[in-house]
A and B are shown apart, each in its own frame.
Chain A
Amino acid sequence: MSASNLLIDIRQLSVCYRSGGQINPAVQSLSFSLAQGETVAIVGESGSGKSTLANAILGLLPENAQITGGQLWVEGSDLTHASERQKRQLRGRTIGLVPQDPMVSLNPTLRVGQQIAEALILAKGKRYPAVDADVVELLQHVGIDKPVLRARQYPHELSGGMRQRVLIAIALAGNPRLIIADEPTSALDVTVQRKILDHLQRLVSERGISLLIITHDLGVATDRADRILVMKQGELVEQGPPRQILDAPTHPYTQALIAAAPAFAKRREPLANPDWAALAKPILSLQNVGKNFALPKVKGQDNSFQALENLSLDVYPGQTLAIVGESGSGKSTALRIALGLEKPTRGSVWFEQQEVTHLSWRDFRPLRQRIQLVQQNPFAALDPRFTVFDSIVEPLESFGLLKGAALEQAARELISRVHLPVSFLDRLPRELSGGQCQRVAIARALALQPDLLLLDEPVSALDVSVQAHILELLEELQREMGIAYVLVSHDLSVVANFAHQVLVLRNGQVVEQGSVDQIFSRPANDYTRELINAIPGRQKVAMTG
């Protein structure tokens, strides 16, 4: 059979979910194949069916899912009607999985070494004396230092990056012919992700293993795959090598994805950059701000943690300042200090030439009409029992500014401003999508007509295409209303198209700060360069010019 040199051969596969009497198709007549040694990326947004496809290959479809048509050939056998036993034989030994979120994918009550040993023993068929040595060797292979020590540790004692490496070790333990990497870039910092993915690709090519990357990030796909498959709502809309996909996408959906992905989107024209300091006074100013957090007393360790050190920044009216940093850099702390939710240990905070550092909550309250916050998680930012109307007008009610018909009019205006239909005012948050919830949160933040809007990772929880919309909306609002923004993000590609000024934080210290042009074209600091290079897809764009 010609399929003998194909590791995976999927022909016209259809999978659907049954829930509450309804049948939802997840994968529709999908065909693709994967040969030994190839690296293929499946790109799709939420609801595209890519995770269902991965689960089908692994034989891990949930009980309410059913393969309704087509064939799924893995290593010469059709899995569509295979028994659980046959599917189990393939898992671990032929197909390995590197799961998405390393923080929750390891058993918290078993030692790391035991979990790896379990996979090794399964592959061998029984427990063998050299298994401990093999565990240590495998840990070394995946790049973990002090492997003997780490093998005896529990998952919560390891960092996120190390846990991801352990998961790779578990996947490799069974000597599989295919590794499925599920969203390998979502849970970790960009620089860590890059190192780990590079390492994984090296290991995989050394051993001739095929790699199937499931991702929503087109940049990651173009960087690392030999072939890209684009999925949309269960269907395969386009496939081809990265060069072809980027240069000549044939399907409109692919074109839309490329247009929406920040890494590939055209950098907007750099605004005429007047000398800001001369034109206007800063609306928000942090001067030499430092923040220490007290820690429980432990012998041999410091009893305070320095979250921020010597941070100074200025935000000018109508301008966007982006604070960029990885987790633990202190960027959220900076935001909270600006809002008055935390008091800085050192330094001062100024709002329009008024020092607000030591204001009590009550004294700060009048200023709240001018400074507002948009939070990261749109679903958690809205009270699930409040209708959209209630949520949007709450600030107005809290300050007692409007009542009755005027309140309803204000609500109508606000919801139209964020481009949502007026009928949405009656909906509850659970009836809205992530992007729609975030728009409501923005409308709420605008209710008091603030001059300064602080945004804490406002788009990181959303799909790529939705991200683009929200950012466009924010830009439009800035143009029309002259609001200044402080945008906190870990994603440099988002910042590149949106900010005027950029500030890079690392471990609480300012690494670099300047205009966005300066930072991106002429980064002065190594860390900044590393961050920029780690943006998935950047190299390909650079090559196309």
Chain B
Amino acid sequence: MTTTDTRLEQNLGRTAIPAHRSEPLWRRRSRLQRATATVVPLLRRPGFTLALLIVLFALAAAVVPQLLTSFDPYATSPIDKLSAPNLIHWFGTDELGRDLFTRVVYGASLSVQAAFLAVGIALVGGLGLGILSGFAGGRIDSVIMRFVDVLLALPGLLLALAIVTAIGFGTLPVAIAVGVGIIPGFARTTRAEVLRVKTLPYVEAARLGGASWSRTLLRHILPNAWGPVAVLATLDFGAAILATAGLSFLGFGAAPPAAEWGTLIANGRHFLITAPWVSLLPGLFLVAVVFSLNHIARTFEESQR
């Protein structure tokens, strides 16, 4: 049989299949090795690397701001007030003479923490609902989706406003409010992915091979469904940063002198004519971070396809 195979294959221009029936020459490549193999080529793209660096900078600013700047965010210095960006003060100073760059770096801490919390809440809630809905189907699915529809009908910011009205101002309420607003998007995406994968032939094959539902869920459905969810999580991280900044801009965030990015921008409003950098530069930094997150998310999405 093998010889007929090889002859036919050679005729058809393909290489013959060697008969390796002896010692195994293979190793199981670990999943980690395969994962790194997909990420490394991405680093060769300049845009991706730049975006990654910006995000890492923001994360560093959130965790160890003191390493990135030598100024004290609360140190006022009335002599230097409202000075334009220069070599000492990279972003200039605000109306109290505080170094703006330092304020932005320290502000990262609150904003990034809030965003992490918000996305965390959304992941737990949204993933849970989505998986349950997609997997269980039937009535549970309808009920959960109705609930998600209701949440969708409430505009994100307004829902956040309601929550903040009820439990008060500050970084934590803002984070919770934003997180709850993101849940519907996660739930819907997760459900769509679970539904898509659930009906694929290889899931059916696994079930026919005797796999239990829990095995199917953990080993087949979730690993194949998490791709778009991961992309959405990265995108929503950026959206959460924008949303928390928006809420603190409106005055519902941490109380002064703590510096969340939104508060910084709101503060600078009053000096727009004379010292535009007080508002605009922190905003530019914000844009850079969110745009980088979006770029990373999009690069992952494209590499998955």
A and B pair up: yes
- The residues of A with any CB-CB pair to B shorter than 8 Å are 45, 232-233, 252-253, 255-256, 259-260, 339, 341, 365, 368-369, 372-373, 375-377, 380-385, 387, 389, 391, 394-395, 398-399, 408, 412, 416, 419-423, 425-426, 441, 444, 447-448, 465, 468-469, 472, 476
The residue that B200 contacts in the complex, of A252, A380, A447, with Cβ under 8 A, is A380
9 A-B pairs in the complex with CB atoms less than 8 angstroms apart: A252-B11, A253-B11, A256-B8, A373-B208, A398-B206, A398-B209, A398-B215, A422-B20, A426-B29
Give A366's nearest chain B residue, CB to CB.
B210
CB-based nearest B residue for A429: B202
User: B192-237: which residues lie under 8 A (CB-CB) from chain A?
Assistant: 200-202, 204-206, 208-212, 215, 220, 223-224
Closest to B221 in A: A383
- In the complex, B24 has a CB within 8 A of chain A: yes
Q: In the complex the two chains form, is A381's CB within 8 Å of B212's CB?
A: no
Q: How far is the CA of A256 from the CA of B208 in the complex (A)?
A: 37
Chain B min CB distance to A498 (Å) = 16
B209 touches A469 (CB 8 A): no
Q: B residues near A, CB below 8 A?
A: 1-2, 4-5, 8, 11-13, 17-21, 24-29, 200-202, 204-206, 208-212, 215, 220, 223-224
Q: How far is the CB of A363 from chain B (nearest CB, A)?
A: 13
Min CB gap B222→A, angstroms: 11
Residues on B with beta carbons closer than 8 Å to the beta carbon of A259? 8
Contacts A253-B11, A422-B24, A448-B209; A469 near B17 (Cβ below 8 A): no
Which listed residue, B4, B201, B215, touches A377 by the CB 8 Å rule? B201
Taking A383-B202, A398-B210 as contacts, is the C-beta distance between A465 and B28 under 8 angstroms?
no
User: Are A441 and B205 also in contact (CB < 8 A) when A383-B224, A385-B223 are?
Assistant: yes
Q: B5 contacts A419, CB within 8 Å?
A: yes
Q: Given A373-B205, A381-B205, A398-B211, are A465 and B2 also a contact pair (CB < 8 Å)? A: no
The minimal Cβ–Cβ distance linking B230 to chain A, given in whole angstroms, is 14
- A469 contacts which of B8, B200, B215 (Cβ < 8 Å)? B8
Q: Which of A45, A389, A469 contacts B5 (CB 8 A)?
A: A469
Q: How far is the CB of B194 from chain A (nearest CB, A)?
A: 15
Known: A380-B201, A416-B19, A465-B8. 8 other contacts (CB 8 A): A45-B12, A373-B205, A381-B201, A383-B220, A387-B29, A419-B5, A426-B29, A448-B210
Kindly provide the distance from the CB of B21 to the nearest chain A CB, expressed in whole angstroms.
5
- Establish whether residues A395 and B209, one from each chain, have CB atoms under 8 Å apart when the complex forms: yes
Residues of A within 8 Å of B25, CB to CB, are 422-423
Tell me which residues across on chain A come within 8 A of B220, comparing CB atoms: 383
Given contacts A380-B201, A381-B202, A383-B224, contact A444 B27 (CB under 8 A): no
Instruction: Give the complex CA separation of A90 and B131 in angstroms.
Output: 54
Contact residue among B11, B28, B201 (Cβ-Cβ distance under 8 Å from A375): B201
* Majority secondary structure of chain A interface residues (helix, strand, loop or mixed): helix
Nearest-Cβ distance from residue B253 to partner chain A, whole angstroms = 42
**Residue among B11, B17, B18, B210 with the highest chain A CB neighbour number at 10 A:** B210
Q: Are B205 and A368 in contact (CB under 8 A)?
A: no
Q: Which residues of A contact B200 (CB under 8 A)?
A: 380
Query: In the assembled complex, how far is the CB of residue B14 from the closest CB belonging to chain A, in whole angstroms?
Result: 9
A376 — nearest CB in chain B belongs to which residue? B201
What chain B residues lie within 8 Å of A469 (beta carbons)? 5, 8
Contact B24 A372 (CB under 8 A): no
- Do residues B20 and A423 form an inter-chain contact, with CB atoms below 8 A? yes
**Given the complex, which residues of A lie within 8 Å of B204, measured CB to CB?**
341, 373, 375
Cα(A372)–Cα(B206), bound, Å: 11
Residues of chain B contacted by A260 (CB below 8 angstroms): 8
Q: Is the CB of B211 within 8 A of A394?
A: yes
Q: Tell whether, in the assembled complex, residue B224 and residue A416 are in contact, meaning their CB atoms are under 8 Å apart.
A: no
Alpha-carbon distance A9/B34, docked complex (angstroms): 50
* Given A377-B201, A383-B224, A387-B28: A416 in contact with B21 (beta carbons within 8 A): yes
- Is A399 a contact partner of B5 (Cβ separation < 8 A)? no
Kindly state the separation between the CA atoms of A420 and B201 in the bound complex, as whole angstroms: 22
With contacts A385-B223, A408-B24, A421-B18 taken as known, whether A256 is within 8 angstroms of B210 at the C-beta atoms is: no
A419 adjacent to B2 (CB under 8 Å): yes
Please determine whether B8 and A425 come into contact, CB atoms closer than 8 angstroms. Answer: no
Q: Write out the residue numbers on chain B whose beta carbons fall within 8 Å of the beta carbon of A447.
A: 209
CB of A453 to closest CB in B, whole Å: 12
Write the chain B residue with the least CB distance to A385.
B223
Tell me the bound Cα distance from A419 to B210 in angstroms.
Answer: 25
Are B28's CB and A389's CB within 8 A? yes
Say which residue of A382, A389, A416 sits within 8 Å of B202 (CB atoms).
A382
- Give the distance to chain B from A377, nearest Cβ to Cβ, in Å: 6
For B18, list chain A residues within 8 Å (CB). Answer: 421
| Residues of A close to B26: CB separation below 8 A | 422-423, 425-426
Complex formed: what's the CA distance from A476 to B206 in Å?
25
Q: Nearest Cβ in chain A — how far from B226, in angstroms?
A: 10
CB closest residue in chain B, given A369: B210
Contact between A472 and B208 (Cβ–Cβ < 8 Å)? no
> Which 6 pairs, one residue from A and one from B, show the smallest C-beta to C-beta distance?
A395-B209, A398-B210, A256-B11, A421-B20, A398-B211, A380-B201
Q: With A421-B18, A426-B28, A476-B1 known to touch, is A385 a contact of B201 (CB < 8 Å)?
A: no
Residue of B nearest to A45 (CB): B12
Checking B12, B17, B202, B208 against A372 with a beta-carbon cut-off of 8 angstroms, the contacting residue is B208
Chain A residues, CB < 8 A from B1 = 419, 472, 476
Taken together as a complex, chains A and B put the C-alpha atoms of A380 and B1 apart, in Å, by 28
Q: How far does the Cβ of B174 sit from chain A's closest Cβ, in whole Å?
A: 38
Residues of A within 8 A of B2 (CB): 419
How far, in whole Å, are A448 and B29 apart by their CA atoms in the complex?
25
Give the Cβ gap from A115 to chain B, nearest Cβ, in Å.
31
Q: For residue B19, which residues in chain A have a CB less than 8 angstroms away from its CB?
A: 416, 419, 421
Inter-chain CA distance A383–B4, complex, in Å, is 31
Query: Which of B8, B19, B209 is the most central at the interface, judged by chain A CB atoms within 10 Å of its CB?
Result: B209
Q: Write the chain B residue with the least CB distance to A465.
A: B12
